[in-house]
Amino acid sequence: MAINKVYESFDKAIADMPDGAVILLGGFGGIAPVPQNLTLALHRKGVKDLTIVTNNAGIDGRIGLGNIGGRSYVDHEILVTDGQVKKFIGAVPASIIVSRPNAFEQLYREGKVELEIVPQGTLAERIRAGGAGIGAFYTPVGVGTEIAKGKEKKIINGKEMILEYGLRGDYAFIRAYKADTMGNLVYKGVMRTFNAVMVTAADIVVAEVDEIVEPGELDPEVIVTPGIFVDRIVETSKGEVK
Amino acid sequence: MKPRLERETIALRVAREFFDGAVVNLGGGIPTLSSNFVPEGRTVTFHSENGMLGFGPVEYDEDKQSVYMMNASAQLVQPGPGMCFFDHAMSFAMIRGGHVDIAVLGTFQVSEKGDLANWMIPERGIGVIGGGMDLAFCCKKVIVAMEHVTPKGEIKLYKKCTYPVTAPECVDLIVTDLAVIEVTKEGLLLKEIAPGWTVEEVQQFTEPELIVAEDLKEITL
């Protein structure tokens, strides 16, 4: 029987998501890499106590930061604003513009959300390790800073390093450009970001793509993510956020 | 008030440090501006944390902009010949693996030992690390591009940083609107100074005592 991972809607693709799930949210900010429709479906579903693992804790489109080249976009800020997020693990918890705080910063001050701040490269490597069956690894990044507090240290080749653990999610929401029905993925431009890493590191991986084609239509030489990593695929259609 | 260098002029001075063949990563703010000033005859490959190498200048023409061509400062850029895309794990393998020659970063504070403090204002209670920590720890050369003092007139060059450190002893060169300063084992070496400014005036805005280079000169562009 042919493998078919295609779901007809974003809501159906995440219907089994429970409260308290750990979700790897792809993207980096910007329009191309963010799984916007999956994020909106998660918002509609209203699940709570989520741990989100993602580069930033949300950029508020309503104040003009989620705006690239005059085009605005939606990100997981709406999940934070509406109290669905319990914890953020990532590199950019707050707005880079101090005078324009995001929802996460405000809730963090009120003690309503938890934060695990991770340097961006360490975050990517922790997820890569999580997806590759590696328990932990040593990195020089963070030695002598607050990041190193409480972490195991070791001198390797004369250089001090700290131990960082692999990271996995219950779910990963990722964005790609094209998929075939077996889940093979190709990306476009800067779309890969955390998407092509997170796709390896969750129990259930849901991909939001611009177009779904039949097996054989994607050139095997240019497939970036092998389909075995992907469980569910949904195609964006007209009228949905692109 | 004496005139200080414009932000673009700081960026222009920074860009003179880009050697032919260099792989360079630019932080947000003044650093990104320096991509516009690569000295003629030199080929510089720009790296962006979000998975892009070899891109061109910022694209201001809305008709030509593509959302698939965004740099880490959320600017839409032009394609460049030989450019390529990759994921975050690969991107930071390049950084940690020592494949990026120069990082240009903005900051709140720098110490005389070259400690960088650019991720957290303690009073704010929450900070932004982004990719800056990986860059500061692992790039072969770290250049700080910044205004010499804060808009409120507070000093940014300290004996010891009062803010949490991003990476200890990582900064090699500091380019400000008043001076070009090299971080040496002996301390901060004042090498170039803005036109019309004296050593004493720059020292006033710098906590550690500056070592004045024997061949101290005016910043020339």
Residues of A within 8 A of B74 (CB-CB) are: 29-30, 68
User: Please, which residues 98-127 of chain A have a Cβ atom closer than 8 Å to chain B?
Assistant: 98, 105, 108-109, 115, 117-125, 127
Two structure tokens written together for A145: 């800073």
> What confidence tier does A63 reach under pLDDT thresholds 50, 70, 90?
very low
Pick the CATH number of B7-34+95-218 from 3.90.25.10, 3.40.50.1820, 3.40.50.300, 3.40.1080.10: 3.40.1080.10
- From the CA of B66, how many Å to the nearest CA of chain A? 8
- From the CA of A79, how many Å to the nearest CA of chain B? 19
Cβ pair A142:B133 closer than 8 A: yes
> What confidence tier does A174 reach under pLDDT thresholds 50, 70, 90?
very high
Mean of pLDDT over chain A? 92
For residue A64, pLDDT over 50 is answered with no
Give residues with Cβ within 8 angstroms of A138, minimum separation 6.
A154, A156, A161, A162, A163, A164
Percent of chain A residues past pLDDT 90, beyond the cut: 80
For residue B24, pLDDT over 90 is answered with yes
> Hey, which residues does A234 pair with through a beta bridge?
A208
- Fill in the amino acid letter for B11: A
Domain that holds residue A121: 10-138+168-235
Residue A5 placed within a domain: no
Residues of A within 8 A of B25 (CB-CB) are: none
Output the CA–CA distances (angstroms, integers) from residue B13 to A64, B73, B104, B159, in the order listed: 32, 21, 12, 25
Averaging pLDDT over each range in A223-232, B27-36, B60-69, which range is the top one?
A223-232
pLDDT tens-digit map of A8-42: 999 999 999 999 999 999 988 878 888 999 999 99
- B157-158 sheet: strands from edge to edge: B116-117, B109-111, B157-158
> Hey, which residues does A43 pair with through a beta bridge?
none
Residues of A within 8 A of B124 (CB-CB) are: 94, 98
Residues of A within 8 A of B134 (CB-CB) are: 119-122, 141
Q: Which residue of B has its CA nearest to A71?
A: B67
What is the reported pLDDT for B74? 86
Percent of chain A residues past pLDDT 70, beyond the cut: 92
Residue A150 placed within a domain: no
pLDDT tens-digit map of B186-204: 999 999 999 999 999 999 9
Residue A153 placed within a domain: no
pLDDT tens-digit map of B71-82: 988 889 999 999
User: Please, which residues 14-33 of chain A have a Cβ atom closer than 8 Å to chain B?
Assistant: 28-33
For residue B110, pLDDT over 90 is answered with yes
Residue A155 placed within a domain: no
Spans of all domains in chain B: 7-34+95-218
- CA distance linking residue A201 with residue A210, whole number of Å: 22
Give residues with Cβ within 8 angstroms of A71, minimum separation 6.
A31, B67
Cβ pair B168:A144 closer than 8 A: yes
Residue A204 placed within a domain: yes
Helix (H, G, I), strand (E, B) or coil at A151: coil
For residue B106, pLDDT over 80 is answered with yes
Give residues with Cβ within 8 angstroms of A176, minimum separation 6.
A185, A186, A187, A191, A195, A207, A208, A209, A225
Q: Taking residues B13-31, report their average pLDDT.
A: 96
pLDDT tens-digit map of B156-170: 999 999 999 999 999
pLDDT tens-digit map of A65-115: 445 556 667 788 899 999 999 999 999 999 888 888 899 999 999 999 999
Positions of B marked active-site: 49
Question: Which CATH number goes with the domain that contains A116?
Answer: 3.40.1080.10
- From the CA of A110, how many Å to the nearest CA of chain B? 11
For residue B177, pLDDT over 50 is answered with yes
Cβ pair B87:A120 closer than 8 A: no
> What confidence tier does A4 reach under pLDDT thresholds 50, 70, 90?
confident
Torsion, Cα of A226, A230, A232, A238 (10° steps): -50
Please count the residue pairs, one from chain A and one from chain B, whose beta carbons lie less than 8 angstroms apart: 147
> What confidence tier does A1 reach under pLDDT thresholds 50, 70, 90?
low
Two structure tokens written together for A215: 């097996």
| Beta strand spans in chain B (E) | 23-26, 45-48, 52-53, 84-85, 102-105, 109-111, 116-117, 141-145, 157-158, 173-175, 179-184, 187-193, 211-218
The domain tally of chain A equals: 1
Residues of B within 8 A of A120 (CB-CB) are: 49, 88, 92, 129-131, 133-134
Residue A195 placed within a domain: yes
Q: What is the pTM of this model?
A: 0.95
